[in-house]
Amino acid sequence: MPVKLPPPGVRWIGGPGGVLKVLDQTELPARVRWRSCRHPRIVFDAIRRLQVRGAPLIGIAAAYGMVLAARGCRTLKQFARAGARLIAARPTAVNLAWAVRRMLALQTLDRRRLLSEALLIHAEDRSACQRIGKHAYFLLKEPVLTHCNAGSLATGGSGTALAGIYEALSRRKKMWVFATETRPLLQGARLTAWELSRAGVDVTLLVDGAAAGLIASGRVRSVVVGADRIAANGDVANKVGTYALALAAKEHGVPFFVAAPLSTFDVATPTGRGIHVEQRDAKEVLTSAGRRTAARGIGAWNPAFDVTPAKFVTAIITEAGVVRAPYGASIQRITGGRSAKAAGRP
């Protein structure tokens, strides 16, 4: 049965001289609005503001951004500098650096060639999502708890964490999903709840602080999240709050799954301690819907991600199969030891 997915997060319109359209996720679910990007600076800005977000989708947007960048470059050196600027937009999601380096590895300014690589990156992610969904379908037991948004809106396909839910739907099996609100930017409330409910999934929203209690109550049978970067030893960087879910899941014997494409593995980083966690503007915490909620004079600590040690992860679901502990060896096997950060290809 076909599943109703949200509009694609990015679309390339036209040929090598075309334009990148980005679905502005900061406006969802109230408005479906597209931003046109004709310059890599605009792609940078859209990534920085989280108009386009989710590790795999950021990588895809950056690949198209490199097609735009080639227009303004006369040398490969200039092109590499444009790539470095794009990579700086968000430091934790390794898919961004992976995609830019893959474009640079072509060693060309030929936009036709670059566009076909960007389209390939996009298509590969779509098919990775589909394969992740098939593996996840057999592992996830409902009700499922998820965090942030690792769905269609975060990828080029049906998602990572949510791909198994969509796979179930396509087999006419309904799944009940608990989604955390995901403070401070509410990706769970605004995006996950929206995309799942419009597809016909039963979604129950909870505030982040209620998640441990929900897990303790025995009402969820699996937890599944996405990832922004997975170190060589299986430590997982994902949306802040993920670590707390993993701790609670471990304590209460609930399986804790991470779903991610191979482009999210960074085997050049040995452990999670080496992962740079993006710090965001304190304003995101001190305000709500644009209005100040905390008293004046208060500071805020606002990491976008946290790192969950591998020992709390039951399994990592990839397009190439399911990876389990000991993670060092299984990740080495599944990635062929190649670093998403350093290499061009997965």
Residues marked active site are found at 228
Rounded distance, CA 18 to CA 286, Å?
Answer: 40
Q: Is 53 in the site for ligand MRU (CB under 6 A)?
A: yes
Question: What x-and-dash track marks residues 244-283 binding ligand MRU by CB under 6 A?
Answer: ----------------------------------------
Report if residue 192 touches ligand MRU, rule: CB under 6 A: no
Cα–Cα nearest to 237, from 287, 282, 277: 277
Q: Does 52 bind ligand MRU (CB under 6 A)?
A: no
Structure tokens at 49: 């503001």
Determine, following the binding rule CB under 6 A, whether residue 318 of this chain makes contact with ligand MRU: no
148 near ligand MRU (CB under 6 A)? yes
Indicate if the alpha-carbon torsion angle 120, 226, 166, 314 is positive or negative: positive
Q: Specify whether the CB–CB gap between 103 and 117 falls below 8 A.
A: yes
How far is the C-alpha of 337 from the C-alpha of 79, rounded, in Å?
Answer: 28
Should residue 124 be labelled a site residue for ligand MRU when binding is judged by CB under 6 A?
A: no
Decide whether 109 or 282 has the Cβ nearer to ligand MRU: 282
- CA distance linking residue 112 with residue 15, whole number of Å: 8
180 is a contact residue toward ligand MRU (CB under 6 A): no
* Contact by Cβ (8 Å): 38, 19: yes
Binding region for ligand MRU (CB under 6 A) out of 153-161, 173-181, 209-217, 269-277: 153-161
Residue 115 CB partners (closer than 8 Å, separation 6+): 12, 15, 16, 18, 67
Task: Name the residue nearer to ligand MRU (CB basis): 21 or 239.
Answer: 239
Q: Which stretch binds ligand MRU (CB under 6 A): 65-73, 219-227, 247-255, 308-316?
A: 219-227
186 touches ligand MRU by CB under 6 A: no
Write the DSSP string, 66-96: HHHHHHT-SSHHHHHHHHHHHHTT-SS-HHH
Does residue 132 interact with ligand MRU by CB under 6 A? no
Min dist CB 100 to ligand MRU, Å, is 17
Q: How far is the CB of 331 from ligand MRU (least distance, A)?
A: 17
Q: Choose, by CB under 6 A, the member of 131, 190, 229, 239 that binds ligand MRU.
A: 239
What does 88-151 look like in DSSP terms, one character per residue? TT-SS-HHHHHHHHHHHTT----HHHHHHHHHHHHHHHHHHHHHHHHHHHHH--SSEEE-S--B
Stretch that binds ligand MRU, among 148-156, 192-200, 314-322, 333-341 (CB under 6 A): 148-156
Among 10, 23, 42, 55, binds ligand MRU (CB under 6 A): 55
Retrieve residue 45's tokens. 């800005």
Residues that bind ligand MRU (CB under 6 A): 50, 53-56, 93, 148, 150, 154-155, 160, 187, 225-228, 238-239, 304
